[in-house]
Amino acid sequence: MKRRRRNVEAFSLSFLDCICCGFGAIILLLVLSKIYEPVIIEKTQDDLESLIALLEQELFEIRGETAVLDRTLEDKREQTSATRLQLARLQGELSTVRGQFQATQQESESILDEGALMAARQRLTEEMRRLQPYFRRASDDAVGGIPVDSEYIIFVIDTSGSMQQYNWRRVQEKITETLDVYPEVKGIQIMNDNGNFMFSQYRNRWIPDSPGRRQAIVNTLRTWRPFSDSNPADGIIYAINTFWQPDKKISIYVFGDEFSGRSVEAVARQIDAVNRKTADGNRLVRIHAVGFPYLFNSGGNVPPTAVRFSQLMRVICERNGGTFVALTDFRGA
């Protein structure tokens, strides 16, 4: 007897129930696993924002420190450049001083020798006694060996304490005598060795010559006391730069007793550069000098500053067509 086979349906109710339960379980698991995810994401986002803010702050600090370091580096570079220039200048000055020392050592030793100094002073006194009591013209353009062919004259006077204390009355006398040598000029100027003018209303321009103005110069000189550093270089250079003109014949008279600078040759070269030679070989202006005694009666050595003034003015006058006259303690000189 043949059995009948039952037809089994593939998608029966029991199978569908199982499938639905499985899907339900999966969905439940997903729901349970995702329930806390928004909180975690929010916390993670806050942490990232805090980290970004911290990193931005550190970046700003690093940029500020970088700017400070850049400025410091630039300052160091400028200081290095300035130091190199100063070193080069000092090396040049050192070479100049060494050359000057070698050239003048023997001369300085002889000048500072007291016995030689006294002998030289005695010879100079005898010569000045013979030449200077009278200011009579030996020729048309010289008095006592000093050329007086200029139409304009400038006095550059050391107004330091030593000049005021020891020599000021004699300065007034020598100013008067020098003006007498020039009966008439086209212009006069009075300034100290720092470039300070006696009459501010005539600053940087000539004082017209007249008997009244000459007397005013002598009267004002009695109480004129501007600051001075006992270095005639500044006054000489300023006078040349201010007053020289190609159509004017000018003489500068330097009155002083000390030179406070260190290098005679350096100052002489500065003045050479300003008072340059013309096409005929002459300088733009003549430079004369009168050296006044300083502590010659003290019984001790003559101060080195007084010796350097004599050395400086002798060199400058020789190079610039002038004459250097060294006064002594002899009152007639």
3-state secondary structure of 5: coil
* Domain carrying residue 96: 38-102
User: What's the mean per-residue pLDDT of the chain?
Assistant: 80
Residues 88 and 191 in one domain: no
Does any domain span residue 247? yes
**Beta-strand pair 142-143/137-139:** antiparallel
pLDDT digits (tens, 9 = 90+) for 315-330: 999 999 999 998 875 4
The total number of structural domains that make up the chain: 2
> Does residue 23 lie in a domain region?
no
pLDDT at residue 172 greater than cutoff 60: yes
Residues 161 and 219 both lie in one domain? yes
Q: Are residues 236 and 96 in the same domain?
A: no
The confidence score (pLDDT) of residue 12 equals 60
pLDDT at 221 over 70: yes
| Cα–Cα dist 277/284, whole Å | 6
| Cα–Cα dist 159/192, whole Å | 6
Q: Please check whether residue 250 is in contact with residue 152, taking contact to mean a CB–CB distance below 8 angstroms.
A: yes
Is the CB of residue 258 less than 8 Å from the CB of residue 295? no
Predicted model pTM: 0.57
Q: Are residues 98 and 145 in the same domain?
A: no
Say if 22 falls within a structural domain: no
For residues 277 and 79, give the distance between their C-alpha atoms in angstroms, rounded to a whole number.
39
- Examine the fold and report which residue of 72, 102, 132 is the final residue of a domain before the chain moves on: 102
pLDDT higher than 60, residue 305: yes
Q: Are 118 and 299 in contact (CB under 8 A)?
A: no
Given 73, 102, 131, the domain boundary residue is 102
pLDDT for position 289: 94
The DSSP H or E segment spanning 190 is strand 187-192
Report how many helices (DSSP H) and strands (DSSP E) the chain contains, helices first: 9, 8
DSSP-derived letter for residue 150 is -
Q: 96-150, pLDDT tens digit by residue? A: 777 766 666 555 554 445 555 555 555 555 555 554 444 344 444 555 456 777 8
First to last CA, the chain: 177
Same domain, 248 and 316: yes
**Domain co-membership, 260 together with 195:** yes
Question: Does 51 have pLDDT greater than 70?
Answer: yes
Is 291 within the bounds of a domain? yes
CB 208 within 8 A of CB 167: no
Question: Within a 13 Å sphere around the CA of 275, how many CA atoms are in the beta-carbon half?
Answer: 32
Note the pLDDT tens digit of each residue in 222-242.
999 999 999 999 999 999 999
CB 264 within 8 A of CB 311: yes
C-alpha separations of 283 from 132, 140, 251, 321 in Å: 27, 20, 11, 7
**Residue 80 pLDDT more than 50?**
yes
User: Do 314 and 200 sit in the same domain of this protein?
Assistant: yes
Triad 77, 80, 83: Cα angle to 5°: 150
